[in-house]
Amino acid sequence: MVLSLFSAGYAASVAAHDLKFKLLFATNGAGATDVWEVSCLSSSTLGDSARLVANIKDFSPDDSNFISLVIYKDGKAVTSTDLVGGNDAYSPLVSVNAGNGVYTMIANHTRVGNQVYFIEYHCENAAGDHTPTTVPTTPVQDQ
């Protein structure tokens, strides 16, 4: 378990779709995994959602414990890993192109420890316009 959970500074994100200060718990071991579900919807002016775009930030200053985000829908998946914990940078933006519907976002890490993460996400249409996106208040699996 790390001695300190958090980096010293916290810069507020300007993105509206984000999950902040979420934890993977040491009690659930290195296999601790959180599962979130987000729906991408269609809009009468912007059309259908084409994809979900997201990335993850490791807020705990323990570089040996990498945190990753997996986006999954309809048999398609992609992974993004934050290789430096405790700074303000997110992992690379990744996306799954699977249209409207429910996308699953999975947060996991490589070692045992209480680890804080942030996720930024949004749905887009084919032109890159932000389409209606649901905002989950609780995960569907919380470890």
Partner 1 sequence: MDNSFAKTDADNNRVSSILVKYRPKLNANIQLQVEQASLKAVLSELSRVTGAVIHYSVLTDVFITATCVADNLKAVLQCLLGESQNIVYQYAHNKGQAGMPSEVWVLGSSLAGLTLQEDRGGVSCQGDRADLAAIPKNTKQADEKLVAQLIVKLESADPKQRADAIADLATKIAMDNIEVDNILLMAMGDKSARVREQVLFAWVYRNGRAAIFELQQALQDPVASVRLKAVDLAQDAAVLRLALLDGDALVRQLAEMKLNALNK
| Interface residues toward partner 1, by CB under 8 A | 4-6, 10, 12, 16-17, 20-23, 25-28, 37-39, 41, 43-46, 102, 114, 116, 122, 129-142
d(CA 95, CA 131): 14
Q: Is 131 helix (H, G, I), strand (E, B) or coil?
A: strand
Q: Which is nearer to partner 1, 41 or 77 (CB)?
A: 41
Q: Which is nearer to partner 1, 17 or 109 (CB)?
A: 17
Please give the span between the terminal C-alpha atoms of the chain, in angstroms, as a whole number.
15
Minimum separation from the CB atom of position 3 to partner 1 (A): 9
Q: Which is nearer to partner 1, 97 or 104 (CB)?
A: 104
Q: Which is nearer to partner 1, 79 or 132 (CB)?
A: 132
d(CA 65, CA 56): 14
Asked if 106 and 22 touch (Cβ cutoff 8 Å), the reply is no
Minimum separation from the CB atom of position 94 to partner 1 (A): 19
Residue 48 neighbours by CB under 8 Å, 6+ apart: 42, 99, 100, 125, 131
Minimum separation from the CB atom of position 105 to partner 1 (A): 12
Q: Is 26 helix (H, G, I), strand (E, B) or coil?
A: helix
Q: Which is nearer to partner 1, 92 or 136 (CB)?
A: 136
d(CA 96, CA 111): 26
Minimum separation from the CB atom of position 80 to partner 1 (A): 21
Minimum separation from the CB atom of position 50 to partner 1 (A): 13
